[in-house]
Amino acid sequence: MADMPINIDHLLSMTGGDADLADEVIGIFQQQAQIWSRMLDPRAEASQWADAAHTLKGAALSIGAEDLAASCEAAEQAGRNNPPSPAGAALLLNDVKDQLNRALEACSRVSHALSRPGLRASKASNS
């Protein structure tokens, strides 16, 4: 899976190789991403969107979404250290949202990859 926004090997290492848990983490990430995305408002106080970027960065790192984490880091640092104009904030936060959308689009591919035989415990009998 070239150019995959989510590093499946990293995700599995963070979940102790448990594909079911990794899939659950992906599901939680998808649910929470809607909340974080709404908080990435360039018209808001810089501290608010910097906090949202920080939270999203941690979640991105937990699923191996390194490009998203890097965009979040850039936005967080700018928001905390040298808050840009609303136009500058919009550019930073649009990059975060673009990377977030790429990661969200990859979530279903990751879930599918995690369902490969051999990755899941003997859950086939429950299907």
Predicted confidence (pLDDT) per residue in 54-91, tens digit: 999 999 999 999 999 999 999 999 999 999 999 999 99
Instruction: Note the pLDDT of residue 56.
Output: 95
Number of domains composing the chain: 1
DSSP 5-73: SS-HHHHHHHTTT-HHHHHHHHHHHHHHHHHHHHH--TTS-HHHHHHHHHHHHHHHHHHT-HHHHHHHH
DSSP 124: G
Q: Is residue 120 part of a domain?
A: no
Q: Is residue 21 part of a domain?
A: yes
**pLDDT, mean over the chain:** 89
List the domain range (segments joined by +) for residue 60. Answer: 8-114
Confidence of residue 7 (pLDDT cuts 50, 70, 90): very high
Section 19-30 average pLDDT = 94
Q: Is residue 41 part of a domain?
A: yes
